[in-house]
Amino acid sequence: MGQLRVPGPTPCPPEVLQALSWQMINHRGPEFGKMIHDVTAKLKQIFQTKKDLYLLTCSGTGGLEAAIVNTLSPGDKVLAAPVGAFGERFTSMAEVFGAEVIPVRAEWGKAADPDEIRRALQKEPGIKAVLVTHNETSTGVTNDLAAISAVVKEFDKLLLVDAVSSIGSIDLPVDKWHCDVTVTGSQKGWMVPPGMAMVSVSQEAWQAHAKAKMPRFNWDFARAQKYLEIGQTPWTPAVSIVFALSVALDMMLKEGLSNIFDRHARVGKAAREGVKSLGLSLFADERYASNTVTAVSVKDGLDVKEMLRILREEYQIVLAGGQQSLQGKIFRIGHLGLITEDDIKEIISALKEVLPRVGA
Beta bridge partners of 213: none
Closest CA to 163 of 144, 136, 196, 124: 136
> Given the complex with ligand PLP, which of 93 and 310 has the nearer CB atom?
93
> Given the complex with ligand PLP, which of 59 and 73 has the nearer CB atom?
59
Q: Are strands 100-103 and 281-282 parallel, antiparallel or unpaired?
A: unpaired
Contact code string over 126-165 relative to ligand PLP, x by CB under 6 A: -------x-x-x------------------------x-xx
Q: What is the DSSP string of 129-185?
A: EEEEESEETTTTEE--HHHHHHHHHHTT-EEEEE-TTTBTTB---TTTTT-SEEEEE
> Given the complex with ligand PLP, which of 60 and 231 has the nearer CB atom?
60
- Closest residue to bound ligand PLP by CB: 60
Residues from 212 through 241 that contact ligand PLP (CB under 6 A): none
> Given the complex with ligand PLP, which of 58 and 298 has the nearer CB atom?
58
Q: How far apart are CA 67 and CA 89, in angstroms?
A: 13
> Given the complex with ligand PLP, which of 3 and 133 has the nearer CB atom?
133
Residue 196 CB, shortest distance to ligand PLP, in Å, is: 9
Residues with Cβ within 8 Å of 356's Cβ and at least 6 positions away in sequence, in order, are none
Q: How far apart are CA 260 and CA 254, in angstroms?
A: 10
Q: How far apart are CA 52 and CA 230, in angstroms?
A: 15
Contact 219, 70 (CB under 8 A): yes
Beta bridge partners of 167: 170
Residues with Cβ within 8 Å of 80's Cβ and at least 6 positions away in sequence, in order, are 87, 90, 91, 94, 101, 102, 103, 104, 130, 131, 132
> Given the complex with ligand PLP, which of 95 and 346 has the nearer CB atom?
95
With vertex at residue 165, the alpha carbon angle to CA 57 and CA 237, rounded to the nearest 5 degrees, is 10
Closest CA to 170 of 14, 289, 296: 289
- Among 8, 9, 268, 322, indicate the residue that binds ligand PLP (CB under 6 A): 8
> Given the complex with ligand PLP, which of 62 and 231 has the nearer CB atom?
62
Residue 26 CB, shortest distance to ligand PLP, in Å, is: 27
Alpha-helical regions (H) of the chain: 14-19, 30-47, 60-69, 85-96, 114-123, 145-154, 203-211, 221-228, 239-255, 257-277, 304-315, 341-354
> Given the complex with ligand PLP, which of 8 and 322 has the nearer CB atom?
8
Decide: helix, strand or coil at residue 251. helix
Residues from 176 through 195 that contact ligand PLP (CB under 6 A): 185
Residues from 27 through 86 that contact ligand PLP (CB under 6 A): 59-61, 86
Question: How many angstroms separate the first and last alpha carbons of the chain?
Answer: 27
Residues from 237 through 266 that contact ligand PLP (CB under 6 A): none
> Given the complex with ligand PLP, which of 162 and 354 has the nearer CB atom?
162
If binding means CB under 6 A, how many residues of this protein chain bind ligand PLP? 12
Residues that bind ligand PLP (CB under 6 A): 8, 59-61, 86, 133, 135, 137, 162, 164-165, 185
